[in-house]
Amino acid sequence: MTATVAAEALDESEFVALKDEVAAYVRAEGERWAELIEAERRVPLELWDELRDRGYLRLAAPRSYGGRGIPFSRYLELLELFSMSHASLRMIVHVCNGIWRPMDSHASEEQRERFVKPQVRGEIKVAFTLTEPTAGTGADLRASVVREGDAYLLSGEKHLITFGTIADYLLCFARLKGTRGAEGTVALMVPPLGPGITAEVMPETMGVRGTDHGHLIFDRAPVPVENRLGEEGQGLEIALSGFLAPSRIAVGMTCVGLARRALELAVDYAKRRETFGRKIAERQAIAFRLAEMATDVQAARSLVMEAARMWESSGGANAESAMAKLFASEMLQRVTDGALQVHGGIGYWSSSPIERVYRDARAQRFEEGTAEIQKTTIARQMLR
């Protein structure tokens, strides 16, 4: 699936109405879900149902697949709003609106009907299953398969997998036993409840509370060969190329959204809090800090949108998407830190909304690759 296939005509007035609707949803229902998730430390399946029924999980997919056909760069405007909400809510929106891309890129027509369209319609949940506890993420992967008749027998371990214990399918990357590098890698749609699979919920995370992350152990787990997307040898291509650029750009926009929320909280607090007879917003030290934070957010937004437009027009943007993700995730760290500082000590307490935002923000520095990996991508392109 290229960027151009997903770009469909958009009715501007309908889009503006949808944007208003999402902004209102995030402030009302989104905040109620956030309170419930933090209190109960779980994400109720009713939230998934609500997001699906409102059409929020199929925003970016083509209409021919059951999606709403919103062009990628416009979808990002909505993702920015969702990302102002609880990180578990934005995680559902982000993953569901993106995971159809790698599946679709190498799916046969039959697999498109079986996996891609049901995922877009919200009938099945799919977890992107790449990271391993004993290997680097990518050409180093160690999970392996051997073929026996019409099945692959999958062995190995995966961890940190978002939705890993509630998914209907794991989009799992492994290699033919004995191969190295990208050679021999495969992408498999693995039903997680079969024999030879142990799935454990990982311990609670610092932020993104309530979202389940799975640790999966495979011991000669049979997976039908007909569940392999693409050919043998194309596994990493499915995981990384084509999908990675829009996904990095989208994570960049989730950073912009959460930073916007942090800034909003900081501005609001600075206007209310009085010390030594004046509101702290009237102190230049605080006002300048807020101005720097706002500039940082806007710079990241611009970089993300430029990478998005480049990807839409060319299908490329490898280095630009890495730059957008790198800058935006580090910007988010600066802005949430600044916002917490503006709150003073009370911001450190869970009774202050900035406390959750600060914890949630740390996750984005890992999602879709760390800063070190983004820099490696950018440098490789510059120096080749």
Active site residues: 368
Task: CB nearer to ligand FAD: give 153 or 202.
Answer: 202
Answer yes or no: are the C-beta atoms of 306 and 320 closer than 8 Å.
yes
- Interacting residues of 361 by C-beta distance below 8 A, sequence separation 6+: 207, 255, 258, 259, 262, 332, 333, 336
Quote the least distance from Cβ 132 to ligand FAD, whole Å.
7
Task: CB nearer to ligand FAD: give 11 or 372.
Answer: 372
Task: CB nearer to ligand FAD: give 1 or 130.
Answer: 130
Answer yes or no: are the C-beta atoms of 47 and 96 closer than 8 Å.
no
Quote the least distance from Cβ 351 to ligand FAD, whole Å.
24
**What kind and span of H or E run contains 161?**
strand 151-162
Q: Report the C-alpha gap between 248 and 304 in whole angstroms.
A: 9
Quote the least distance from Cβ 226 to ligand FAD, whole Å.
23
Answer yes or no: are the C-beta atoms of 156 and 198 closer than 8 Å.
no
Binding site for ligand FAD (CB under 6 A): 127-131, 136-137, 160-162, 208, 363, 366-367, 369-370, 372-373, 376
Task: CB nearer to ligand FAD: give 73 or 131.
Answer: 131
Q: Which residues partner with 351 through β-bridges?
A: none
Quote the least distance from Cβ 3 to ligand FAD, whole Å.
23
Task: CB nearer to ligand FAD: give 12 or 372.
Answer: 372
Quote the least distance from Cβ 155 to ligand FAD, whole Å.
17
Neighbours of 233 (CB within 10 A): 15
Quote the least distance from Cβ 240 to ligand FAD, whole Å.
11
Nearest one of 245, 300, 302, 309 to 75, comparing CA atoms: 309
Task: CB nearer to ligand FAD: give 76 or 208.
Answer: 208
**In angstroms, how far is CA 255 from the centroid of its own chain?**
10
Q: Report the C-alpha gap between 128 and 244 in whole angstroms.
A: 12
